[in-house]
Amino acid sequence: MLRWRLFLFLLPVSVLSSNTTCPYDIPYAAQMLPSICYANSTSFPSATSCCWYVFASYIYAAIRYSNLTGAAFLPPSTASACSSSFSSYLLHQGLARPSLLSSSSCNLDGDPVRLAAGNRPCQFPYVSLIRSSTDLSPADKLCSSSPLNPDSHPSLCSQCQTAVINSTFSLLNVTNSKEIVPCGMAATIAIWSPHNPSLPRFRSFALCMLQILQNIGNLGTGDIVPSPPPPPPSPPPPPITSSAVSGSRTTKIIAGCATAAATSLIGVVAFLVFLFRKRRRKINTSDGEFATSTEIISPVLPREGLYIFTKAELKQATNGYDDRLLLGAGGAGEVYLGKLPSGQEVAIKRIKREKKLGEFYREVEVLAKLRHRYLTTLVGYYLGEPYEHALVYEYMAGGNLAGALSDGIGLTWRRRLRIAAEVAEGLVYLHNFPEGAVVHRDVKPTNVLLTEGGAVAKLSDFGVSRILPQEGSHVSTEVKGTMGYMDPESFSVGHVSETADVYSFGVVLLELVTGMKAVVLTPSGGAESIVHAARNAVTDSDLESIVDQRLGSSWDRPTVTAVFELARRCVKQYKQDRPAMAEVLVELRGLITDLDVRSLGGSFEASPSAPSTTATSGEPTWMSEESQSEMV
């Protein structure tokens, strides 16, 4: 160990085959990486946490250099040298696995010039320019002088997070920019630069920031810029986030994290926006990796109407978890196709990660109360020790809506309308649940499952759902959902209500009309929300240009136009401007009737049955193999 430290101290950091030398003290900053991320580690920490520590170490090196020189972002050649040097040092010292540093989300050499001064808005060459552009004193006070360990001081950590977010939004406004990524990094450097934080202190800051990465679970996901909150209805204090941000700013997705290494580096900093109003609990796992959960887990689970499986029964159903029956894998674990002694096929989601246990308990607690023909059925669960649990669902053989839209085969406009109405009916049932409105919070095509042949659509995955109290303002400190479908108002001000589902459903309607994904590529190499494209389509020719061409040239203009306008109402910026799901359902069913009448009954399917917002006990149908990985 002594020889290793001496080597770190003496090793010159320079770029091979280049005359430009990186001025950062990389060996010192690299000590931030935990041993579980080392190349020779026998532990298997998540790529998310190790990637964040790589980025945090690099940012820490930049902050220390900034404290000495006042430089914020380096010139192009020097920035490139530092990215290459940092990556090479970690590899040569075995401080990170080669597979991690070569991945698209953690590769520092992809586009290092992107980190250079002046390359993008907010990337000022000097800290003084950043600090003169906005008031950083709140963040200075809350971040530099307070303990930030999320374990021992969660409220102080949350206050620092909010202050950094506010500083980022202020820089966005000053630079008239929509790119939160470089502005987030600029704010972080400028806040910490004058204080020259010690390694332990900045490590606690990194732990505070790591919470949101654990929540998102994937560094390849872009960052989101929320729209500003609506004007307050009465004199109460103004919102503390993005009041300075232009009201016309729409949800934007930055594609850097998925396309280039250097953008990944900056992109991690932008995840600070997801920390707004978070309250989380830290858990130490046996291998030293930090995991998170969003709530205190209750050991008491409902049993009525559910079958409590044993470990032996699940092993028998999956032939000992035969790899040939593996349907998919994701952040929580694996999903297997199983067959019960009765012959019923089921989907078994095996949960083995501690940080996902909160979602396991929540899904059981919510689904145990719900029974509706357009909601997937939870057959039962297995509660193991200490952290191996399983959820057993009905199996749907028709795949999910995302796959059906991607294939575009047989998904007629009439069927798309029926799917929309069926999902809407399920949401009306949830929002009018007698014990309190149930907000799904993750309505998207991958969570809409289809029976074989696509005859029936069902809403699935209730791991982040919430049953709201029957009275009160429905305020939550949690931010849940999927980027591209997340209600910007709920995101920015921390309110959760049924209108968040209305927004997400509106995005799904737009996908049904256009065939596009919720996040679409832009000519500049970035990406933006489909909502932005919809808001810009104001004429008939605009609509015609974005309607899914697979509907054919004779697509039904009256109903397609009506659904498009309905979707635009659902994704209104402020919740008070959106319709209720009951209103949406009535309109969709009217459009289906209109379509049937005008078709003279000759070319379309029969009209669906009358809506039901009460519990049903119909026979379960099956879930497709293609859709299982989306459940994890």
Contacts of 338 (CB under 8 A, 6+ apart): 314, 317, 318, 325, 345, 346, 347, 348, 392
d(CA 507, CA 402): 13
Write out the DSSP string of 260-328: -HHHHHHHHHHGGGGGTT---EEEE-TTS-EEEESSPPPS----TT-EE--HHHHHHHTTTT-GGGEEE
| 386 cis-preceded (ω within 30 degrees of 0) | yes
- Cα 348 to Cα 305, 314, 358: the distances in Å are 18, 8, 18
- Output helix, strand, coil percentages for the chain, rounded to the nearest 5: 45, 10, 45
Is there a contact between 250 and 529 (Cβ–Cβ < 8 Å)?
yes
d(CA 127, CA 193): 8
Q: How many CB atoms lie within 10 A of CB 304?
A: 6
- Cα 6 to Cα 3, 9, 96, 119, 330: the distances in Å are 5, 5, 19, 37, 41
- Rg (alpha carbons) of the chain, rounded to whole number: 25
- Looking at the DSSP bridge assignments, the partners of residue 349 are 335, 391
Is there a contact between 346 and 394 (Cβ–Cβ < 8 Å)?
yes
3-class DSSP state of 393: strand
Going through 462-588 in order, the beta strands assigned E by DSSP cover 466-467, 519-521, 527-529
Is there a contact between 90 and 101 (Cβ–Cβ < 8 Å)?
yes
Q: What are phi and psi of 375, to 5 degrees?
A: -125, 140
Question: Which spans in 552-602 are helix H?
Answer: 557-570, 581-598
Please give the structure tokens belonging to residue 470.
């029957």
Q: Is 442 assigned a catalytic role?
A: yes
Of 577, 580, 608, 569, which is closest to residue 455 (Cα–Cα)?
608
466-467 and 345-351 beta bridge pairing:
unpaired
3-state secondary structure 157-189: HHHHHHHHHHHHHHHHHHCCCCCHHHHHHHHHH
Is there a contact between 316 and 346 (Cβ–Cβ < 8 Å)?
no
d(CA 116, CA 80): 8
- Cα 426 to Cα 277, 308, 445, 590: the distances in Å are 29, 26, 14, 17
Catalytic residue among 111, 442, 501, 556: 442
3-class DSSP state of 249: coil
Count the alpha carbons within 13 Å of 143 in the hemisphere toward its beta carbon: 30
d(CA 129, CA 301): 55
Order of strands across the sheet that contains 378-383: 307-308, 378-383, 389-394, 345-351, 333-339, 326-329
Residues in the chain: 632
Active site residues: 442
